[in-house]
Amino acid sequence: MVFLKSWIICFLNLVLLVGCAGKIERVVLLPNADGHSGGVVVRTDGQEIELTSAYAGVEIAGRKAQKRAFSEQEVRQRYGEALDAQPVRPHSFVVYFKLDSTALTADSTLKLEQVKKELLLLPAPEIVAIGHTDRVGAVPYNDELSLKRARVVRNILVSIGIPAEKIEEAGRGEREPLIQTPDEKPEPLNRRVEIKIR
């Protein structure tokens, strides 16, 4: 039996292929969307083999495990159907807002146009719009403002035909800043809505 232990957990998109051909088992580490890979440790019958690069693999026959490098073409040829059947990887976009406002910045208005085009290409997207504020203003006010910002994005997406029930909205207020600042200091990068698409 093969035991897999992931040693890099956060923000990595690991895909492992375990295939059986006769009595050979294969474990292959695939890259994530940006071409990087995390890592796994394959343990079998007292052996421990670490995989840390894309298309690194292990072949296990009986009690013997051997490290092996696979090519992208070889993996595609062998496991193409399984790879094609994977769900679409989540996308994430961020749009920014003017100070103490639910109005998008000019750049973010343009960016949202690109997001809308991309969304229309997806068959049935599920979306979460998460609003944020900077630390200017009282916490309850910022909680409400962040939710209003998320709702603005949600309404824009509904207006292009995304079903309302497919869009969740949430407000995090000033609790999850991109840039840490003292209280009452304006920070444009914290005034945002994250649009997570899956």
Q: What is the pTM of this model?
A: 0.60
* Cβ 122 vs Cβ 88: under 8 Å: yes
Q: What confidence score (pLDDT) does residue 5 get?
A: 33
Residue 69's DSSP bridge partners are 56
| Whole-number Å distance between alpha carbons of 183 and 54 | 44
* Cβ 167 vs Cβ 115: under 8 Å: no
The 3-state DSSP class for residue 174 equals coil
What residue segments make up the domains of the chain, in order of their start?
Answer: 3-84, 91-197
* Cβ 171 vs Cβ 131: under 8 Å: yes
Q: Closest by alpha carbon to 97, among 88, 86, 108?
A: 108
95, containing H or E segment: strand 91-96
Q: What confidence score (pLDDT) does residue 89 get?
A: 66
Task: Spell out the per-residue pLDDT of the chain, length 198, in tens.
Answer: 333 333 333 223 334 444 444 578 888 988 876 677 778 888 887 788 888 888 998 988 877 888 989 889 998 998 888 888 876 666 789 999 999 999 999 999 999 888 888 887 877 788 999 999 999 999 999 999 999 999 999 999 999 888 999 999 999 999 999 999 999 999 999 999 999 987
* Cβ 29 vs Cβ 35: under 8 Å: no
* Cβ 127 vs Cβ 195: under 8 Å: yes
Q: What confidence score (pLDDT) does residue 34 get?
A: 67
| Cα dihedral 189→33→18→84 (10° resolution) | 120
Q: What would be the CATH architecture of the domain defined by 91-197? A: 2-Layer Sandwich (3.30)
Chain-centroid distance, C-alpha 119? 16
